[in-house]
Amino acid sequence: MSKTIQLITLSTLLMFTGCGSKNVSHNVAPTIYQNSATYGSPSIDEVASAPLPAKRIVTQRANISVDVENINQAKDALLILIEKHGGHIVTANLYEKRYNASAKVPSTKLMETLNEIATLGEKTAQSISQNDVTTQFVDNEARLKNLLLFRDKMKALLNRTSNIEEIVKIERELRRVQTEIDSIEGRQKYLKDAIALTPIGINFKEKRVYGPLGYIAHGIWWVTKKLFIIK
């Protein structure tokens, strides 16, 4: 086996032993290989743990339910409100007395948007959930950095050899590495989009309008209920 092929094999083993496999737990800090003049086994001083950022990286999801006077008016007002904050409606379903929609708004505008949606009627429920993706994000960034460095080293080797067998092996390795780079870049793009935009589930229900007998019946029911339950 030629020295170039031996170098590729050794570099590959060292690269992915240091980086970890695709299934490595995100609770383990990834390693970063520093640039060196020759691509080979990194020394202990060249391997460092990727530090987590001081500010945690989170994705969010919100839901809000509001009783409104008029479904159509509330729906139109909601569209204006969402667009004003730089967001957009993703899906929407209009029924006779109900309107359900999902929207996405910039995460920095989430609370302001929820507060304004609440003013369209009487808020009955609201929830916000968060998912910490800090370790996953940092792990992907570190692994991507390693893979890009490895790809550049393989390209440099390819330019230095004229042996057909070696060229075939290097090109095969480059294709494999590029596939993994594309996969990680895709995951990072998804995370960045999820961090930047927060989905909101919106539920509008039109308030009931009682007739004269309806008010009487509702009042009797309220009084009867209070005889059994105070709170």
pLDDT reported for residue 32: 30
Helices assigned H by DSSP within the chain:
3-19, 71-84, 110-118, 134-160, 164-196, 212-228
Strands 58-68 and 197-206, by their bridges, are: parallel
**Tens-digit pLDDT profile for residues 100-123:** 999 999 999 999 999 999 999 999
Please answer whether residues 196 and 32 qualify as being in contact, where contact means their C-beta atoms are separated by less than 8 angstroms. Answer: no
Contacts of 58 (CB under 8 A, 6+ apart): 130, 131, 132, 133, 134, 195
**Tens-digit pLDDT profile for residues 132-178:** 999 999 999 999 999 999 999 999 999 998 899 999 999 999 999 99
Name residue 172's amino acid: R
Looking at mean pLDDT, say which of 27-36, 77-86, 204-213 comes out highest: 77-86
Give the whole-angstrom CA distance, residue 44 versus residue 137. Answer: 25
pLDDT > 70? residue 80: yes
Token digits of residue 3:
């020295």
CA 91 vs CA 10, 65, 112, 202, 217: distances in Å: 51, 16, 21, 10, 38
**Tens-digit pLDDT profile for residues 187-223:** 999 999 999 999 999 999 998 765 554 555 555 555 5
**Tens-digit pLDDT profile for residues 45-64:** 333 445 666 688 999 999 99
Domain boundaries, the chain: 3-55+133-174, 58-131+197-228
pLDDT reported for residue 96: 86
Contacts of 1 (CB under 8 A, 6+ apart): 9
